[in-house]
Amino acid sequence: MTARVSPYLSFDGNAREAMEFYRSVFGGSVQITTFADLHASPGAAQDELVAHAMLKGATGIVLMGSDRTPGDGAGGGASITLGGDDEAELSGYWERLCAGGTVTAPFARSPWGARYGRCTDRFGTDWLVNVTAPTT
């Protein structure tokens, strides 16, 4: 059996919108379960909050997430790294992730030879994108 690590993101009431945004970036499909679906709502105001969402991207990327509810701790302190050697694919992800967000390191040739950039998307998730340096 193979072990896998998948990021699990926490949102302040906009998990559905965020996961649909990531679907628009990575393709694939999103499955969303609300607290009402689970009959586990912490209160009527939270019925439509996302208890769990999973994006299965078209190229194998998996992201999961949910909305925070009262009493949940704040998230943060983590970044998601996308890497590989397909510059066209990764450049497309970069452009879509940055839309409406903040670029903290421009997507350009790095000192280590790769094309690299860092941004925070409009939902506050920090992304590092690294296109492997060509071998000569």
Residue 68 near residue 18 (C-beta atoms within 8 A)? no
CATH class of 79-131: alpha beta
- Strands 62-67 and 8-11 turn out to be parallel
79-131 and 8-67 share a CATH fold: yes
| Full-model pTM | 0.80
For 24-47, how does the pLDDT look when each residue is reduced to its tens digit (9 = 90+)?
A: 999 999 999 998 887 766 677 788
For 81-111, how does the pLDDT look when each residue is reduced to its tens digit (9 = 90+)?
A: 898 999 999 999 999 999 999 999 999 988 7
Span 8-67: which CATH code? Answer: 3.10.180.10
Q: Indicate the domain borders of the chain.
A: 8-67, 79-131
